[in-house]
Amino acid sequence: MTERELREIKRRFRPERSNIPRIVGCFVNGNGQIVSKISQTLALGDSAVTEMLLKVMKKTLSGSLGTNLTDVCFTTKQVSESVEHRLLMRLRDTELKDADVLDEFYNKVIECVKFEGNFVILLANDVYDVPKKHSDGESDDSYTQFSYVICAVCPIKESAEALAFREADSLFHSAAATSLLSSPEIGFMFPAFDDRASNIYGALYYTKSLSDSHPSFTEKIFGTEAPMPPKAQKATFSEVLTEALSDECSYEVVRSVHAQIAEMVEAHKESHDPEPLTVTKSTVKSVLEYSGVAEEAIEKACNAFDESFGKNAALTPKNIITTNKYEVTMPEVSVKISPEHRDALSTETRNGEHYLMIRVTGPVEVNGISIAFEE
């Protein structure tokens, strides 16, 4: 899916645009037992509740592609034979109206989700009449239908007993403890919306955490391995460069790598290209060549990239570098620089001692006091 297609689906989660008739699900206690089933009609219900429920479901499409949202790809064999894909298709095709299918899905989720307290599993089915768009951006009356299921797994937070103020009598009153619905920790949309049409060979998987991709969930629900979490991608990419380049992993090389990838991100943003920008092995090779790294070290880095991320891996740039932050750290010192001024810092060795050199380009303050430099 592209960012443009994602935005198109996210616009569906407004009361005036949604075709979701109801939200179904179940309330699960801390012991993994279903306490009650949920079936809440939206069209005839409280408008405020409807809006809040749609916002919760929409949260499973939040974040950006490649970070909180990742594509799940099913093989031809999975589509034709796997029990996981068959269950997802049954959820969609029955429009969440088959109790047995729902129970089977709930039990699979309960088996693989481990939260400390209570949680809910929520499901919704939407049928979107996708208007046909022409090259000039105009649309006509013809359309294709996109029927999809969206799932949200949300922890329940128990609020403590508190005092509530009532304007009617200008007094405080006791407010009982309540169960509050939190934002989703995990979710997905199936099938994928690719080229503005249904793609049963894909799903869009959501995780709130950037450090935990919940591998047991992807294995149980999709029959696939979980994507490497963004934080792990960043740490792994750093290890690839550090170990493969060894003595060639100088400050100048790291600065050059950061600058080139940051420039790619900015150029892609300005181009308004709907396809996501990715960093592949060939990207790493060209970046290191431009940085003046020896051919042997580049080959070693490319092999380490394949081993760490898999062949044909395509990483989201923001998962491996922070484009809006530039920081140099030591055990005793931390130096933060605006990325556009990264060239103000250099390294130097004098009498066997290593130094970080910062070029002064304006007034310097120490604890708020301006200092002078001796000529």
Distance CA 217, CA 283 (A): 32
Contact assessment for residue 146 and residue 193, using Cβ atoms and an 8 Å cutoff: yes
Q: How confident is the model at residue 162 (pLDDT cuts 50, 70, 90)?
A: confident
User: Tell me, what's the pLDDT at 140?
Assistant: 64
CA of residue 9 relative to chain centroid, distance: 16
- Look at residues 68, 54, 12, 65 and name the one whose alpha carbon lies nearest to residue 186: 68
Q: How confident is the model at residue 137 (pLDDT cuts 50, 70, 90)?
A: low
User: Tokens for 356?
Assistant: 């970080």
User: Tokens for 207?
Assistant: 């995780």
Q: How confident is the model at residue 229 (pLDDT cuts 50, 70, 90)?
A: very high
Distance CA 159, CA 179 (A): 6
User: Tell me, what's the pLDDT at 375?
Assistant: 72
What single string gives the DSSP state of each residue in 303-331?
HHHHHHH-TT--B-HHHH--TT-EEEE-S
More confident residue, 187 or 371: 187
Beta bridge partners of 20: none
Question: Domain boundaries in the chain?
Answer: 3-227, 228-317, 325-375
Q: How confident is the model at residue 175 (pLDDT cuts 50, 70, 90)?
A: confident
User: Tell me, what's the pLDDT at 220?
Assistant: 95
User: Tell me, what's the pLDDT at 83?
Assistant: 96
Average pLDDT over residues 162-167: 83
Average pLDDT over residues 252-280: 91
Distance CA 69, CA 231 (A): 14
Q: How confident is the model at residue 282 (pLDDT cuts 50, 70, 90)?
A: very high
Q: How confident is the model at residue 178 (pLDDT cuts 50, 70, 90)?
A: confident
Give 73-125 pLDDT, tens digit per residue. 999 999 999 999 999 999 999 999 999 999 999 999 999 998 888 999 999 99
- What percent of the chain stands above pLDDT 70? 98
Give 248-258 pLDDT, tens digit per residue. 899 999 999 99
pLDDT at 16 over 90: no
Q: 165-179, 265-279, 300-314, 327-341: which has the minimum mean pLDDT?
A: 165-179
What single string gives the DSSP state of each residue in 273-310?
-SSPP-B-HHHHHHHHHHTT--HHHHHHHHHHHHHHH-
Q: Look over the chain and give the mean of its residue pLDDT values, rounded to a whole number.
A: 91
SS3 143: strand
Report how far apart the first and last C-alpha atoms of the chain are (Å, whole number). Answer: 59
- CA angle 366/371/374 to nearest 5° reads 135
pTM: 0.84
Distance CA 184, CA 208 (A): 7
Q: 227-241, 250-264, 278-292, 323-337: which has the minimum mean pLDDT?
A: 323-337
Contact assessment for residue 203 and residue 192, using Cβ atoms and an 8 Å cutoff: yes
Q: Which helix (H) or strand (E) holds 27?
A: strand 22-28
User: Tokens for 320?
Assistant: 């491996």
pLDDT at 325 over 90: no
Q: How confident is the model at residue 69 (pLDDT cuts 50, 70, 90)?
A: very high
What single string gives the DSSP state of each residue in 42-62?
STTS-HHHHHHHHHHHHGGG-
Average pLDDT over residues 125-153: 83
Neighbours of 104 (CB within 10 A): 14
More confident residue, 274 or 35: 35
- Polymer length in residues for the chain: 375
Average pLDDT over residues 34-56: 90
Q: How confident is the model at residue 342 (pLDDT cuts 50, 70, 90)?
A: confident
User: Tell me, what's the pLDDT at 374?
Assistant: 79
Neighbours of 364 (CB within 10 A): 12
User: Tell me, what's the pLDDT at 138?
Assistant: 63
Residue 150 main-chain phi, psi, to 5 deg: -125, 135
pLDDT at 134 over 80: no
